[in-house]
Structure 1
Amino acid sequence: MASGQKSNASSCSEQAAASESSQVKRSHNYEEEIFYRNCRAAYLAIFKSSLENIKSKEQLCLVLQQAGRNPSWQTVNKYWTFQTTSLNFDDFCFILKKEPPVQKTELLKTFAKMDANNDGYILHGELRNVLTTKGEKMTLDEVNTITELTEVNNDGKFYYYKFCKSYMATNEQCLKNAVEKLEVDSKLKCQQFGNQIEISPDSKPKTERKTETTPALKGGPCKSSLQPSLAPSCKISVTSTISMGASSNKKSKLIEPNAVKEWHCTYSKGCFYLEDNNDIVSHKYKLFLPQRSTVCITIKPVCFSQMEGKCSPWLAVDSALYILKENETEEKLNVVNFTELRNKETFGWRGELGAGVYWIIPFTTGCRFKKMKKQIAKEAKLIYEDGNGCLALTKEFRAALSEIFEMIDLDGNGFLSLEEYNFFEMRTCGETCDEEAWVICKQNFETKNNELTKQGFMDLNLMEASDRGGDLSDLWITLMSMGYNKAMELTEACPFSIHIYAEKCKPKIKPICLETSGGQLNKAICMNVVNKGDAKSMDNSENIITYTYRSDARITSVIENKTEGKTIIHINNEKSKNCVNNRGLNAFAVEVAPRSMMVCQHVMPLNEEEEWIYNCVYSILS
């Protein structure tokens, strides 16, 4: 009897725990739904479509205000840097998560600190002094805007209780108006979130292919895990299901580099960098081939010498190279192929290339290369005072600088040329070092054969701290620009190496730029998936087609819209198993522009040691 009571008590306890867990999950999902509804409402109050980009600081400020924020220009400048040309809807959601609405209690506490006598007001002179010199400094014009508000100012006094009440009411009303507009406008309710590059189908090769047509599903609403209350009805659906074995158990089709060791070889390093808006920046290259030859091209992650034996997260990041032929008579590049074959962490391609110039564009799907949410328990120490009272680099900082040196030493010769150093400069400060400045650099720091040594690079960084009296802000900017967090861990950069072997001639590879992939790469991905993937038509007239391409390492899908009007497609991956996609969502929707195609998603196994099942339902939304 006692045993039975214990069993029942244990069962009840488990059921209560499961119920509580389920409630927490539902609560979290509800919060996410409300957050994305508010994001969408604010964005569509300013722009006609979620595909429109924010193109200026003023637009960013306006759409943030519509979301119930009231950012200072310093906050705006934090997200709109001198390198920013546009921000998309995904960037906007990221900013709103980083900049939560100000709470009334927090606002009152801030002003109360200036009110030493607890009078309920602050003198204008004191307000100007505090707001323009402390914390997130405001401009004089911004402060004057506050002090000129008649309803909260009188006789040179700023009544902050009234201001806080008015401020909160205005912010809430802005967001409320945006949500109400979204709710009453059926067209806006269909607008979903997500960003993609539009590719014109006119540029693709004319390839005949059989397409499968799936009949329309007659049923209820198509529910999204993110927006169940706003989910529009489905017009027609198709499903793609692919079962994949454990990737680690598959035999490699890639010829090992040592099998072509007698061939001519060239080599270069590079890196993927993750931006604040989740864009991925990487080096791009030109390949010069003097004559027709069979070649073998590979890319793989680099393990730093000082990190040997340690597990590094970037070694699990997928990578590929797209090979594009430069055409002398045409401005556009022609897609040749990409590194599809795999041997462990190495991806490669082998084939014949004619003489000429080729662009080599590195690519990663973003499935495993994303912002990491990690609490930093303790900030790493960069410098210390030695026994003579002089500043010196800590052991941890020297190790990080040594890794950075290896990262930017693209030809791997142990020294930095001016060209290599300028890639580093552009990444960390957006400027380049000219020949005159390089001469001065060589006079002050150790060099060899006109190139900077590792010790010279160390001394240069130490000088930056010494010249600023121990101010570490510039050093932290350098570290974080190169992908390090405050604990000195490399979390937002993935170094890689490229090897090119040619049987009949000496190839040459040259790094050209460091930038985001852009439309050329997206076009190449679309062309590859359309030419090699399985096609399914979503309507009887074959105007909306999904293409799905599988390799040993990943699955990529593309959607083509041949019609003269935009189409909204809902994507549901909720029945997939052991999968991770580059969008980070199991259910989302995308808007495909007229007469265009777009990369819908990349999917990879979460655990490569186990089987993974890709199950994707595409639905046209009415």
Structure 2
Amino acid sequence: MSRRLSRPSSAASHRSSGSSAHDSEFKVECKAAYLSVYDDLKDVISSEYDLSAVLQQSGRNPTRKILAKYWTDETDYLTFDDFVNICRREHATTTDDLMKAFRKIDINGDGYISLDELFRMLTTRGEKMTRDEVQCMIDEVDENRDGKLDYGERILYYSEFCNMLMSTTDECKKMSMKMMEKKERKKKRPSNTPRRGDDENIHGSRTSLRSNASVKPPTMKTDSQLSVRSSRVSRADGQGPSHSLRSVGRTGSKSSLISIDDMPRPSPRVKKDKVRTPVGSRSAKVSEPSNLRDWTHTSSKGCFFIDADEGGQIISHQYTLDLADDTNVFITMQPNRIGDAGFTDDGPVDTAIYVLREGSSSNKIVTFTEQRDSKGRYCVRCDLSAGRYKLVPFTTGCRLYERSAGRETKEVKLIKQDKEDKIVLSKTFKKALEDIFDMADLDGNGLLSREDFNWYNIRTSGEEVADDEWDVVEGNIELERGEITKTGFIHLNQMEAEDNDGDTDDLWVTLTSMGFNKSLVLNQACPFKLDVYTEDCRDASLEVMGLEAQAVMLEDAVCETVTAKGEVSKVKGMKDLSVYTYIGDARATVVVENQSYSKIRIQLDCSRSKNVVSNQRDLNYTLTVPSNTTVVGHHLIPRDEKAEWIVRCQESILR
């Protein structure tokens, strides 16, 4: 049930609008802001995070206190009318707000902003920068080279600075209007009308982690002090961040530089328990675009594996996505049922995709799938600019983990001898080979190409398929259009069994590498399906790049998203130690950030949580955090997805 907002009186409405014409303009701006995030005014705001995003699109910068006023524990969703009423009550950001924010950097009140003061703010709050990046920012505007920014003598510059930020907000509103007009034209356009070239491209900016909207005005953060975000301002050419103070507000800049919030973050110790409704019964779901059948679709299968040779860590296929044009993108991922793989009595293995923008020196995280739709798919919808992206699959390991040897059951027979003493494969083994074939068939065409067979060979033997080996395949087994059929694949394993005179050791290497136990149950792997839909890009290319350990690719990305979106609390007596807790649609993550110069041991006790399972196997887990690092402590998901789940985490330092 929506917590409805009372409508303002006619007098209050008159005061807020000033005139009927002004009120009409106000409603149009609200509509444009809403449609920059949602497809339809009938769509509902389903989370506090989404409420913040759509308010930002309207030029407002809600503090945590303001959000809490309109999104309480009893709120399930808010409608467009609710949103309009909120906009009436909360004024848009002003130049005075921004000037007040910038002056907060001058911590000691001496009238100067030093490198140390700016560095402290930019490296401890919000989206962190390096000291060199901060120095570059100061150097650009520090004309007398004294290493300080004097806002007392340079008040004109900072007035101009705030004006530039306000112009960025105006540009954001204009962009929202264009997006609204585009969506309305598409609704009116007949189905046989050409889709490309009928309106200008307005998807030029990169998506922020903090919103599904592609363009964002200055944002109020939930910190008690100022947070400056220039390290993450996207360049207009989409090639990387710009660390220039002077560049903010220029044409093409669509991110904010400053964000403030005078309200401190509440500590989890004094907040109510985090209660989540059953995943399958959320009041509002991520919905796929209504015209999705008109979008370009590309897909691939893949698999998570438990790699016993690497200490039981999870590895998976990795992908690159090449976009020739700026486009709206809808990405879904879900377990692909093959036998019993990927599903337990409590529910499916959780899956996610992290989208990283490929750069010259590093990969910048753009977004990730954090909600599930009515079909159970993990999905995300966002705008992406043209270029190359890495798509990195992720699972918490809460339901997919290495089993102990004591849980293995009786070993089944792989081969037997017929009446003529010929070696034949057992029925159970053939069924397992059929499952392996389906796992290796990444494009889902019912055949194994050389590329499919190559990654299968790498997984099972550690070597690529040489030309002479492929010649043997082509000369001895059944092919169709130059690719291996399922019958041919089973025959290939029959040949291997015959060559080894009945010795099954090599056959078991294949089976265990692909995730089967001795009972031929696929319990150490989770096949999945990845679908990418692009609205305005006909030349989208999704390519499999091989198998990699997810920890190598995702540790920093997971920590970045949790520190950006989660609630933070300081550990008592440890000023340089913070614990972040992020709770999404079907996953909670606890991250520890150690900014001190020494390693610490911290105990994260989640044993008082209800209906949860952790990737650590023990809800009361102790970890060591090296100095100046951020690490994941717990991933938590509901044990029973049909019931409510509660997250409680108590931290304590071990001396």
| Residue from 594, 615, 625 that aligns with 1:582 | 615
Query: Percent identity, aligned pairs only?
Result: 36
In structure 1, C-alpha distance between the alignment counterparts of 2:431 and 2:574, rounded to whole Å: 61
Matches within 5 A, 1:341-420: 341-343=371-373, 344-373=375-404, 375-420=407-452
> What SS does the aligned partner of 1:388 have?
coil
Corresponding residue of 2:632: 599
Q: Secondary structure of the equivalent of 2:434?
A: helix
Q: Which amino acid aligns with 2:583?
A: R
Quote the Cα distance in structure 2 between the aligned partners of 1:447 and 1:437: 15
Taking structure 1 as reference, are residues 437 and 284 closer, same or farther at Cα in structure 2, changes over 3 Å only?
A: same
In the alignment, the residues of structure 1 paired with residue 645 and residue 493 of structure 2 have an alpha-carbon distance, to the nearest angstrom, of 46
The residue that corresponds to 1:611 in the other structure is: 644
The equivalences for 1:228-243 within 5 A come to 241-243=273-275
How far apart are 1:205 and its partner, in Å? 3.8
Aligned residue runs from structure 1 range 205-216, under 5 A: 205=128, 209-210=221-222
Q: Give 1:383 deviation, angstroms.
A: 1.7
CA offset digits 1:46-73 (Å, max 9, x no partner): xxxxxxxxxxxxxxxxxxxxxxxxxxxx
Q: Is the CA contact (8 Å cut-off) linking 1:237 and 1:620 kept in structure 2?
A: no
| Separation in 2, partners of 1:567, 1:510 | 41
Aligned to 1:331: 361
The residue that corresponds to 2:318 in the other structure is 284
Provide the C-alpha distance between the structure 2 equivalents of 1:340 and 1:237, rounded to a whole number of angstroms: 22
Whole-angstrom CA distance in 2 between matches of 1:260 and 1:362: 23
Q: CA deviation at 1:307?
A: 7.2
Using structure 1 for the length normalisation, give the TM-score: 0.60
Letter in 2 for 1:391: I
For the aligned residue pairs, the C-alpha RMSD in angstroms reads: 2.8
CA contact (8 A) 2:288 2:330 kept: no
Q: Give the 3-state SS of the residue equivalent to 1:559 in structure 2.
A: strand
- 1:437-464: CA deviations, max 9, x gaps? 2122111111122221111111110111
Return the letter of the residue paired with 2:364.
Answer: N
Structure 1 contact 315–345 (Cα < 8 Å) conserved: no
Separation of aligned partners in 1, 2:268 and 2:347: 38
Structure 2 unaligned residues grouped into runs of 5+: 1-122, 130-218, 226-266
1:112-169 deviation digits (Å, cap 9, x = unpaired): xxxxxxxxxxxxxxxxxxxxxxxxxxxxxxxxxxxxxxxxxxxxxxxxxxxxxxxxxx
Query: Which residue is equivalent to 1:318?
Result: 350
Contact kept in structure 1, 2:346 and 2:639, CA below 8 Å: no
Query: In the superposition, relative to structure 1, how do residues 239 and 597 fare at CA in structure 2: closer, same or farther (>3 Å)?
Result: farther
Contiguous gaps of at least 5 residues in structure 1: 1-199, 214-235
Query: Pairwise mapping of residues 158-557 of structure 1 onto structure 2 (< 5 A)?
Result: 204-205=127-128, 209-210=221-222, 241-256=273-288, 259-276=291-308, 277-304=311-338, 316-327=348-359, 330-343=360-373, 344-373=375-404, 375-506=407-538, 507-539=540-572, 542-557=575-590
Distance change in 2, residues 1:564/1:252 (3 Å) = same
Aligned pair in 2 of structure 1 residues 437, 257: CA closer, same or farther (>3 Å)? farther
| Larger RCO, structure (CA 8 Å, separation 6 or more) | 1
Q: Which residue of 1 aligns with 2:80?
A: none
Cα distance, 1:204–1:302 mapped onto 2, change above 3 Å: same
More helix by share: 1
Contact 2:268 2:569 in 1 (8 A): no
Moved more, 272-281 or 286-295: 272-281
Structure 2 CA distance for aligned equivalents of residues 314 and 266 of structure 1: 31
Aligned residues: 397
1: CA distance, partners of 2:340 / 2:649: 39
Q: Confirm or deny that 1:567 pairs with 2:597.
A: no
* CA deviation profile, 1:310-357 (whole Å, cap 9, x unmatched): 976696100000000012xx3100100001120253100101111111
Provide the rounded CA distance (Å) in 2 between the counterparts of 1:377 and 1:369: 18
1:204 Cα deviation after fit? 4.6
Alpha-carbon offset, residue 549 of structure 1: 0.8
TM-superposed deviation, 1:596: 1.4
The two structures have a TM-score, normalised by structure 2, of 0.57
Q: Match of 2:649, SS?
A: strand
CA shift digits 1:563-618 (9 cap, x unpaired): 12222211111211111111011212212111111111111111111111111101
